[in-house]
Structure 1
Amino acid sequence: MVKLERLRADHADALLAFERENREYFARSIPDRGDAYFADFPARHQALLAEQDAGICHFHVVLDGAGRLVGRVNLVDVEDGSAELGYRVGERAAGKGVASAAVAEVCRVAGTAYGLTSLVAVTTLDNLASRAVLERNAFAVVEDGADIVVGGRPGLRYRRSRLGH
């Protein structure tokens, strides 16, 4: 069981610990955030909260059944009823359905609480786990080829139009 919580100021310490703990794991499949991200984390966290308050983005932490932070799910660049989905699950929770459940929940929340009508997501061709999460959650490939590049690697763009279900 996973629980999604909208990002709050009091998530900062747990979120920073999660990002530090999983930095090497994440860097195996997505571009590293860089040292500045960690050094400037308090300011970055406040900036995210400001973006969220402005309605530009919706950030979430993913908690396991014991209340431990095990992932993140974000909706960024909210505009015209759409947003871009991004997510990451820590190494200890990987392969246990956490990402699929968290994405399913954020799709429901996006339609019911945020009034969004569609989400897009981008992943690399070789990130089979991420592709499976998207496909399990009714995302369909809408664009592939040389134009989609993620961290220097070829990628795919997905879209889901039916939200809130």
Structure 2
Amino acid sequence: MPTLERLRADHAEALLAFERENRAWFARTVADRGDAYFAHFADRLDALLAEQEAGVCHFHVVRGDGGEIAARVNLVDVTDGSAELGYRVAERYAGRGLATASVRELCRTAAEQYGLRALTATADEDNLASRRVLERCGFTVTGRFLLDGRPVVGHHRALEGN
């Protein structure tokens, strides 16, 4: 059973492997992180951990059956009881329900551990799988707009009553 873990420094090697192995897969539906992300990965991880420590973000990894990182699910821009949800799932785990299970677990965690009351998320308009995950997890569509030049669908979910 995959497990959700709060991001820690000792995830570095496995996280970098996850990002490298799935780079082309992710780039099919979200903007590529770019070569600098990989060249300066240790610095980037340190910055993420500092943001997490400051309470402005909550980063998580999802361990797969073999202990490898199978997904990431993150809450960013935490403010006034709300945050933006983002997630990515390794290609080999796609279509197996991992995204839905991970997002559901993070919604519960967001309410119970982080005291959040609402989440927002966006998905590329043509990324039907990601949009379905959000809908299965109780998010409702709030509108369509351009984000970094890409058409996206905005979503919202209240967390009261989790």
TM-score (norm 1): 0.95
List aligned pairs for 1:1-165, cutoff 5 A: 1-144=1-144, 148-163=145-160, 165=162
Displaced runs of 4 or more, over 3 A: none
Residue ranges of structure 1 left out of the alignment (5+ in a row): none
In 1, Cα distance between the equivalents of 2:27 and 2:62?
Answer: 20
In 2, Cα distance between the equivalents of 1:20 and 1:164?
Answer: 38
- Report if aligned partners of 2:141, 2:155 keep a CA contact under 8 Å in 1: yes
Aligned residue pair count: 162
Given residue 149 of structure 2, which amino acid in structure 1 is its aligned partner? G
Q: Secondary structure at the match of 2:104?
A: helix
Kindly state the Cα deviation for residue 142 of structure 1 after the two structures are TM-superposed: 1.1
TM-score (norm 2): 0.97
Cα deviations across residues 124-160 of structure 1 (Å, max 9, x unaligned)? 110001000000000000122xxx2234221111000
Given residue 3 of structure 1, which amino acid in structure 2 is its aligned partner? T
- Report if aligned partners of 1:110, 1:163 keep a CA contact under 8 Å in 2: no
Cα deviations across residues 57-89 of structure 1 (Å, max 9, x unaligned)? 000001123322101000000000000000000
Given residue 152 of structure 2, which amino acid in structure 1 is its aligned partner? G
In 1, Cα distance between the equivalents of 2:34 and 2:160?
Answer: 33
Identity of aligned residues (%): 61
